[in-house]
Structure 1
């Protein structure tokens, strides 16, 4: 278990099991994101009207980020420490990420999708940036359009890791409010791609430098002690904050900062729900959605999506002790597959359906249902043959390491 900060004595956090309500929220978010990306190849004439009143993509990712903010601290605290957490993240995220990347590469090779020209002129920088999953914070075009959100997930993991190493893991509320304030104050002022913009050599230098600093800092946090560990944590946190502040481009500086505020707000709600913080303290994070509504003013689709995402999470939180349908929980179980693989199907549909508006509505409705059915079948396969085995392997490695430490402990003492 993670030790308490020096000079403090904390009760062990409660063990949190996988919850059906969180899975249901994940499944809902993934399904809505699929709907967003189905509009272009199947319902292009409806897209402006839908987006004008409700942005399904923004809604979906905000729900995802709230869920991540809520559950990731629990995963950190209930596990065997930061090393175990990163092993689990490695085997949770990268295998399917690699499958998704390989699938898009095949579509490109077949001529069904045209990759960004930088894949020919800047391949080293683009590959390395994607390996770190921070490509969106390095101004690197995403191989698959949905991968941009993983950069913010990774930024959140790294910031949480630094906070744990510095004994500041419970300061999620100040973190949420700081990022929200940065989004509000920096909107329209913060630069975009300040570090990476320019020549191929400059981009490669930035990608290599960021990767090296983060790798060294994370190694110091995971394997170092004392001041070395603290220095590593500061290096990791400082690098991520710098990238968030000056090197974002899409979806934009204030959106990226608001995303981090949203995840830390989810962490505050988790701590309030488990008794680590008072509910009165947690009410401060209500400023985060208010900041989102203020920043999205004038864009009805963004405003309604922001409000709906928070209301959806609040409803799930209020109903968390209810029995949820098994199909809803299953959708959450395969939500990562749904999220990463659906763009490949949509690219395929777009390749064959050059003029969707000319196709009868009934035929497109049937095609939409068919795409969803194929997607769910594909996700069932990737869960069985990619995700689940990789996660089991990660757990075995964590358990094996924990057993070795337990055996070595008495001998050292």
Structure 2
């Protein structure tokens, strides 16, 4: 920071320069509003306008500025995303155009379209959304081509499975995004928003899957018990999922429980450290497979460790974690999974050791390349797919029935029918189920002490 000059009404202007980028005309505005209500507290609003895309080192600079000229309450607000980054450059370190217009690589997305995008402060992480879109498309194409192209079937069983790579990328995204949203929400709000986001579409696809299942026995209590257990998303802890791809959702729910526990003890921003525990569990499970000569659910700890790596990356991206910690956990988790995976006993015919490791590295590479290219490509089609990625991930397990039921001479028409119907049904579910449920979940506001007091006062007899 080169200079801080006082301005009117408590406004200070600052200019940042150094480390290959500049922040010119940065405005830190400190405003205090008071209420005549004796119970009201002083409110602070921190608004920071930056003249270039922020890097991971911005927040420490802001913290130092506030430590010198602000207060502990303002520092607390900075740490909880009351910092607004407005980018005018096309990439890190790019000076804004003289006419104020965005560079060609920048897109002004419709706020209605991007309202559900993950964000740091008010900066939409559009690249995260197109990672979701590409990962979902890779999973769908992998599953569909497996039944259409024999050469691809052999390749995905012996060398590299793109579907598994897409799943690894999904968990890096979850680890990157979920703590970002949870850290500025109460646990009640987080749970309600996750329930309304995930379960309605899942239940619809589950019912359709059950109705089409050849195993369905609606007079059997055991069938109803299996169906109800699947409705919890925790079924993979006890049995195979009715929806073939829903085994990953059980791991996702476990990750949510981990984050809730971390926030309960006020360690949410340090919960990425649990990744070291999960990768140790993975290595232990691989060793146990060799001793017991049987397959164990090693993908559970592997994907949970991957999510913790994503969390560390998000903290580093936002300037809240030193890069050395992110690099360390990334290297440790990746190296452990690679080495242990290669030493794994050949007990799972579907996942030989080399295939497991190469597919895992493919997911890491997909996310890493997306991060490096985050400011270079728009990929609007992938952003759109990212919006419907959850519905697409679930619905393609049903539409894949076109391929399973098709004769050999009609496999390609069945492939096109399965793909087009998966995308169409995903869009319909997203528009008419997922988005309304998201809006309903966001309308939930837990009662505060003040609001409860107002209601009690209103209920008292006069």
Same structural fold, with TM-score higher than 0.5 when normalized by the shorter chain: yes
TM-superposed CA distance for 1:386, in Å, is 0.8
2:229 aligns with one of 122, 125, 129: 129
Moved more, 128-137 or 264-273: 128-137
Instruction: After TM superposition, list the pairs within 5 Å mapping 1:30-69 onto structure 2.
Output: 30-44=136-150, 46-69=152-175
Separation of aligned partners in 1, 2:281 and 2:220: 36
Identify, as 1 or 2, the structure richer in strand: 2
Separation of aligned partners in 2, 1:149 and 1:264: 15
Moved more, 261-270 or 292-301: 292-301
The answer to which structure, 1 or 2, has the higher relative contact order (CA under 8 A, 6+ apart) is 1
| Aligned match of 1:198 | none
2:403/2:414 contact within 8 Å kept: no
How many residue pairs are counted as aligned between the two chains?
331
Instruction: After TM superposition, list the pairs within 5 Å mapping 1:129-148 onto structure 2.
Output: 129-137=229-237, 139-148=238-247
Separation of aligned partners in 2, 1:135 and 1:104: 15
Structure 1 unpaired stretches of 5+ = 1-7, 192-248
TM-superposed CA distance for 1:68, in Å, is 0.3
TM-superposed CA distance for 1:156, in Å, is 0.2
| Aligned match of 1:242 | none
TM-score, length-scaled by structure 2: 0.66
TM-superposed CA distance for 1:34, in Å, is 1.0
Q: Deviations over 1:336-393 (max 9, x none)?
A: 0110000101124312x1x43xx2xxx6445423422222111111111111111111
**Alignment pair present for 1:350 and 2:404:** yes
1:411–1:104 CA distance, 2 compared to 1 (3 A) = closer
Separation of aligned partners in 2, 1:54 and 1:169: 35
TM-superposed CA distance for 1:289, in Å, is 1.7
2:388 aligns with one of 327, 334, 339: 334
Instruction: Decide which structure has the larger Cα Rg and report it.
Output: 2
Separation of aligned partners in 1, 2:218 and 2:353: 32
Instruction: After TM superposition, list the pairs within 5 Å mapping 1:3-402 onto structure 2.
Output: 10=76, 11-14=78-81, 15=121, 18-44=124-150, 46-79=152-185, 81-108=186-213, 113-115=214-216, 120=220, 122-123=222-223, 125-137=225-237, 139-189=238-288, 252-285=296-329, 286-297=331-342, 299-351=353-405, 353=406, 355-356=407-408, 359=409, 364-398=411-445, 401=446
Separation of aligned partners in 2, 1:168 and 1:119: 48
Identify, as 1 or 2, the structure richer in helix: 1
TM-superposed CA distance for 1:255, in Å, is 1.8
TM-score, length-scaled by structure 1: 0.73
Structure 2 unpaired stretches of 5+ = 1-72, 82-120, 343-351, 458-462
Separation of aligned partners in 1, 2:122 and 2:223: 42
Separation of aligned partners in 1, 2:455 and 2:417: 60
Moved more, 312-321 or 11-20: 11-20
1:91/1:394 contact within 8 Å kept: yes
Separation of aligned partners in 2, 1:28 and 1:181: 30
2:144/2:403 contact within 8 Å kept: no
1:325–1:387 CA distance, 2 compared to 1 (3 A) = same
Question: Hey, which bits of structure 1, 4+ residues long, moved more than 4 A?
Answer: 8-11, 408-413
1:390–1:119 CA distance, 2 compared to 1 (3 A) = farther
| Aligned match of 2:107 | none
